[in-house]
Each structure stands twice: as C-alpha cells, then as structure tokens.
Amino acid sequence: MLREKKLKSKKSLGIKSCLILSFSIIIFITMSILSFVVYTKSKKALTNLGEDALRNRINMAITEMEILQNQVDNKKLTLKNAQEIFRQKMLGPKNSNNKTRPFNKNLELNISAYMYAIDSKGIEKMHPKKEGENISNMVDPKGNNVTNLIINEGNSPKNKGIIHFYWKNPGETSMKPKTNAVGYFKPWDWYINVGAYDSDFYKPANTILYFTLLVAILNLLIGSLLIYIIISKKIDPLKNIKYAMAKAASGKLTVRADIKYNDEIGNISSAFNTMMDKIQEIVVKIKDSSNEIQDKSQNLTSTSEELSSSTEEVEKIISTVSTGANLQVSDLAKASELLNSLNDNMQLISTKLGAVKTEGDTANSKIDLGESEITNLLTSMDTIKTSFQAVVTKIRTLNASITEIVATTKFINEISEDTNLLALNAAIEAARAGEAGRGFSVVSEKIRELAEQTQSLTNKITSLTASLNDNTSEVISTTKNMETYFEAQSSSIKNTAIQFKNIFESINNIFPLIENSYTSMSEISSSKNTLLSKLDTLNSVAIKNSKTSDSVAVSSNNLASASQEVAINAQNLNIIASNLLNTVNNFEI
C-alpha cells in the first residue's frame, strides 16, 4: 500500500511520451550543434575570404600607384596630378562641396568597403569624407591608436597586412569592430587601407545559419512524427498487458494477455500469462490449506482452553500449599530467632546475677565499714560545728574593733580639720606681720599641708573601715545562716545513718534470693538447648517442604502460562486462517 502511494505521488509521463520527448531532445541538440558548427565554420571562411579580398585590393592599388609613379619619374605627370588621378580611380572626383568623394562601387566587394590613405603623420590623404583631417590621436574603445596600428603594420607586416580596431563613420551612432588591409607605398609616404566592418563579412553566414535552423526545425518535426508512429506501434500493445495486470490486481486470476508479437513485448505477454497460471495454482493450494488450518486451529483452541482451565485449578491448590509451607518456615524461623534471643538474654541475666552475687558478697563485707564511716562523719560534724562557733566569736570581736577604729579615725579627722584652720589663720597673721612674719608663714604652710595629708589619710581609713565593717556584717549574717545549715545537715546525716542500717538489713535478706535465681537460670539454660535442637530439625523439614512446593508451583505456573500461550496462539492461528481464507476468496479462480 505504501509503495502504491509512493508511485502515485511520483506519477510522471508515460513510456511513449518519455521516448518521444527523449528522441526529440536528441534531434534538437544534434541539429543545434550542427547549426553552430556550420555557422562558425562559415563565419571563419567568409572572414578569411574577406581579408584576402581586402589584401587583393591593396595589392591592386599598389600596382596602380607604381604605374602612376613611373609616369611621374618620366616627367609625364606631376606627383600631385598622379595622386589625384589615383584618388579618382579608387574613389571618384570630389563632389560639388569640394570636400567629399563618392564610393567606388567597383571596389566595395558588396560589403561596403572603401579605400583610403594616410601619411606617416596621420593626415587623411584620401578618404570619402575625411580627406585632409588628422586622425593621429584617434583611439578606439579598446585603447588602440588607429594611426599607430596602420603605420606599424604597413612598415613591418606581422599579420599579413591585416589589422583590427573599432571605427565609426560619420552619420553612424556607435563604433563597430572593423578589419583593415594595410599597404605602404614609400615614394608617396602613403599607407593605403581598405576596410570593412566585421558584420559585413558575416551576412552570408547569417543566411546559412537561418537556413540551417530551418532545416533543423523541419528535421525535428518530421523526426518526432516518425518516432511517434514507430513507438506507438511498439508501445500500444503494452496497454493490453496493463489492463490484464489491473484485472489481476483486483483478484481476477482468470485474465490473460492476448498479444501475438514475436518481440520483447510478446515475451512479456507470454511471461505474464505463465505467471498468472502459477499464481492461480498457488492460490488454489492456499485456499485448501487455509480450510484445513482453520479446522485444526479450532480443535487446538478447544483443547488448549480445557488444559488451561485444569492447570489453573492445580495452580491454585499448589499455590495454597506453597503459601502454607512458606508461612510454616517463616514461623519456625521466628520461633528459633526468639529462642536464640531468649537464650542470649538468659545468659546475660545469669552473668548479671553472678556479678550481683559477687558484688553482694563484696557489699556485705563493706557494710560494717559504712557504719563506721557514718559514725565518724557525725563526730566530724560536731567538731566542725564547735570550730565554726569559735570563728563566729572571733568575727564578732573583729567587728567591735573595727567600730572603735572608725570612732578614732573620725576624731583624728576632726583634729586635722582644726589644725588646718589654725594654720590658715597663722598664715594670715604672718602675712600681716610682713618680713618679720615670713618664717612663721612657712611653718604654718607646712602645718597646713600636714593637716591636709592627715585628713586625706583618715578619709581613706574611714572608707576602708566602712567597707570592712560591711563585709564583717555580711560574714556575721552568713555565719548565722551557716549555723542553721549545720543543724539541718547534722539532722540529715543522722537520718541517713538510720536509712543505711535499714538498707544493710534488706541487702542481707536479698542475698539468698539471688543465689536461688542463679541456680534456676542454670537449669533453664540446659533445657533451652534441647528445645533449640528440636526446632532446628523441624525447621529443616519445613524448608524442604517449602522448596518442593515452590518448585511444584513454578512448574504449574509455567504449565499454565504455556497452556494459555498455546490457547492464544491457537486463537491467533484461527484468526489468521480465517483472514487468509477471506483473502483467497477474493480471487476469482
């Protein structure tokens, strides 16, 4: 189907059209090449003929000039008359305007050629329209100086007296390529030229080109018609084969191609008919085989469905057994793990009980030592209390001394203030006494300074004693609290001693119980080992049963899958057989 779509998308011309178009293109290309070659060869030949004709005219002119020069040498003509005679023969007499000359039709060669001459200075000595003009500065579009080209080729011919340049005659709109034949006649210092436009040479070639193109077109039309007739006779029978193939593609296998040719198309027709005979035989065999396959596949489908149903029931039963076996193995494994964990815990408890028993023995030996230490602690507390009370008494005595120091310091401070005031008055009186009281003034100043220093020191002492007094007051307050704490601590220690005695009695009662527990744990550990051995044996049997049931379950599952797959394949085979039979029934045999 995809291939048919691609072929439709790439639909193009038929075989007949392609062949006709191909042959037409070949004829067209061949005739085009032939026309181009003929035109090129004709153009080149005509150019060579034109150049030869121009050279012949130059040679004729040189011969005429030599004859006239002989007459000049024999004094029969003057040089001027001889030159004018030459101008009139080559061109003609001057027109009524006394400037231009006519063209000599006998020299035109049917290509609009005319003769002219210049001297070595570039002066036009003979010209139909420019006689007497200086053309020495004339340059063509290619940059060629025309006068230099003429003089150089005339003096030393390098191209057989032929030169090429661009030229424009009066009355013409543009320059065109021109070919000149040059000859130099030394006695007159004339460079004789006969020139013609290149296009004048090509006119006959253009006629040949047009004729060749006409022949090519006629050849193309006639050839295409002949090719169409020939190809139609060969290609049209293929339509019969195409029709037969279309019928065969629609399912009609009885169709045959009726072509009696003895060429390749006849061979194709014969091969097509043979192919249809073979296809018809194959389709008949396929149809018979499809019916047989359909019957067999239906039987296989029924059998596989019954097998699949039975296998599913077996699989369910085996799955239940396997699940129970797996649960039994799992439960036994958990029981074994619990017993092992219990064994570990029992061993740990036994170890701990042994350690407790050992520590109990050690603790029993230390009970008496504990009672002795508590008694010593109570004695120490009484000693500390007595010592602390002595410290409190000393602190109170220190506080009384500090109070006396404060009073004394205050008295000294008052004396220093009075002394300072007296020293100030003495200094005033000494100042009144003048020179006589100067010594007394110095003494009073020293007294005043000592009084100030004394006052400063007493202030510091007062500050220190005040701070010390505050600290001692706090210490006294703290000692009162400490006395209360000591009383409470002493009471607590006494109560603790009583509790320790009770604990010691309880510990002595626990020791027999620990001994009994240690003995029981040893007996349980011995019984546990026997139980673990039985569980291991039971677990091994359960694991074997579980593996066996798993293997049976896997085999049953595989059997169920295989039976289901067989059933599916049988159904698919039945569908394929039906489709194949339907497809074969589309053919007409």
Report the distance separating Cα 371 and Cα 364, nearest Å: 12
Bridge partners of 163, per DSSP, are: 180
Over 267-280, what HEC string results?
HHHHHHHHHHHHHH
Cα dihedral 73, 75, 80, 82 sign: negative
Which of 72, 344, 352 has its CA nearest to residue 188? 72
Which of 476, 477, 485, 483 has its CA nearest to residue 394? 476
Q: Do the domain assignments include residue 405?
A: no
Q: Do the domain assignments include residue 494?
A: no
Report the distance separating Cα 533 and Cα 166, nearest Å: 130
Yes or no: say if 230 and 156 are a contact pair by the CB < 8 Å rule: no
Answer yes or no: is pLDDT of 102 > 90: no
Which of 292, 368, 329, 367 has its CA nearest to residue 580? 292
- C-alpha 80, offset from chain centre: 95
Alpha carbon dihedral 486, 488, 490, 491, in 10-degree steps, equals 170
Instruction: Count other Cβ atoms within 10 Å, centred on residue 128.
Output: 20
| Residue-wise pLDDT tens digits, 559-588 | 667 667 767 877 777 787 677 767 767 666
Average pLDDT on 518-523 reads 66
H-run or E-run covering 181: strand 176-185
Answer yes or no: is pLDDT of 3 > 50: no
pLDDT of residue 80: 92
Report the distance separating Cα 461 and Cα 438, nearest Å: 35
Report the distance separating Cα 520 and Cα 513, nearest Å: 11
pLDDT of residue 190: 96
Answer yes or no: is pLDDT of 109 > 60: no
Q: Looking at mean pLDDT, say which of 309-323, 469-483, 546-560 comes out highest.
A: 469-483
Report the distance separating Cα 196 and Cα 47, nearest Å: 11
Q: Do the domain assignments include residue 93?
A: yes
Answer yes or no: is pLDDT of 485 > 90: no
Report the distance separating Cα 565 and Cα 314, nearest Å: 17
Over 435-492, what HEC string results?
HHHHHHHHHHHHHHHHHHHHHHHHHHHHHHHHHHHHHHHHHHHHHHHHHHHHHHHHHH
| Residue-wise pLDDT tens digits, 363-372 | 666 666 766 7
Quickly state the pLDDT bin for 242 (edges 50, 70, 90).
confident
Q: 146 lies in which domain range?
A: 15-224
- Name the more confident of 172 and 228: 228
pLDDT of residue 107: 60
Q: Do the domain assignments include residue 59?
A: yes
Answer yes or no: is pLDDT of 314 > 70: no
Report the distance separating Cα 379 and Cα 387, nearest Å: 13
Answer yes or no: is pLDDT of 192 > 90: yes
pLDDT of residue 1: 43
- Name the more confident of 156 and 356: 156
Report the distance separating Cα 327 and Cα 318, nearest Å: 14
Quickly state the pLDDT bin for 126 (edges 50, 70, 90).
very high
* Cβ-based neighbours of 219, under 8 Å, separated by 6 or more: 27, 31
Answer yes or no: is pLDDT of 38 > 80: no
| Residue-wise pLDDT tens digits, 276-286 | 787 877 877 77
Token pair in block for residue 311: 């296998």
Quickly state the pLDDT bin for 95 (edges 50, 70, 90).
confident
Quickly state the pLDDT bin for 8 (edges 50, 70, 90).
very low
Quickly state the pLDDT bin for 7 (edges 50, 70, 90).
very low
Quickly state the pLDDT bin for 183 (edges 50, 70, 90).
very high
pTM, two decimals, is 0.37
Token pair in block for residue 189: 């210092």
Mean pLDDT (the chain, rounded): 76
Answer yes or no: is pLDDT of 123 > 90: yes
Token pair in block for residue 82: 């001889």
Which of 392, 377, 378 has its CA nearest to residue 481? 392
Instruction: Count other Cβ atoms within 10 Å, centred on residue 232.
Output: 11
Quickly state the pLDDT bin for 30 (edges 50, 70, 90).
confident
Q: What is the DSSP letter of 173?
A: S
Q: At how many degrees (to 10) do helices 237-249 and 264-433 cross?
A: 60
Report the distance separating Cα 461 and Cα 408, nearest Å: 10
How many domains is the chain built from? 1
Token pair in block for residue 379: 């004695």
Token pair in block for residue 503: 């604990």
- Name the more confident of 247 and 190: 190
Instruction: Count other Cβ atoms within 10 Å, centred on residue 303.
Output: 14
* Cβ-based neighbours of 495, under 8 Å, separated by 6 or more: none
37-51, 61-75, 111-125, 172-186: least confidently modelled range: 37-51
Q: Do the domain assignments include residue 501?
A: no
pLDDT of residue 81: 94
For residue 32, give the CATH number of its domain.
3.30.450.20
Provide the 3-class DSSP secondary structure of residue 543. Answer: helix
Report the distance separating Cα 272 and Cα 261, nearest Å: 14
Yes or no: say if 515 and 357 are a contact pair by the CB < 8 Å rule: yes
Q: Do the domain assignments include residue 582?
A: no
Cα dihedral 119, 122, 123, 128 sign: positive
- Name the more confident of 144 and 244: 144
2-11, 50-59, 82-91, 500-509: least confidently modelled range: 2-11
Polymer length in residues for the chain? 589
H-run or E-run covering 300: helix 264-433
**% the chain with pLDDT above 70:** 70
Average pLDDT on 184-198 reads 90
pLDDT of residue 54: 85
Yes or no: say if 257 and 244 are a contact pair by the CB < 8 Å rule: yes
Over its C-alpha atoms, the chain yields an Rg (Å, rounded) of 76
Answer yes or no: is pLDDT of 170 > 70: no
- Name the more confident of 86 and 254: 86
pLDDT of residue 406: 73
Average pLDDT on 4-13 reads 47
Which of 486, 504, 505, 483 has its CA nearest to residue 494? 486
Yes or no: say if 205 and 42 are a contact pair by the CB < 8 Å rule: yes
Q: What is the DSSP letter of 145?
A: B
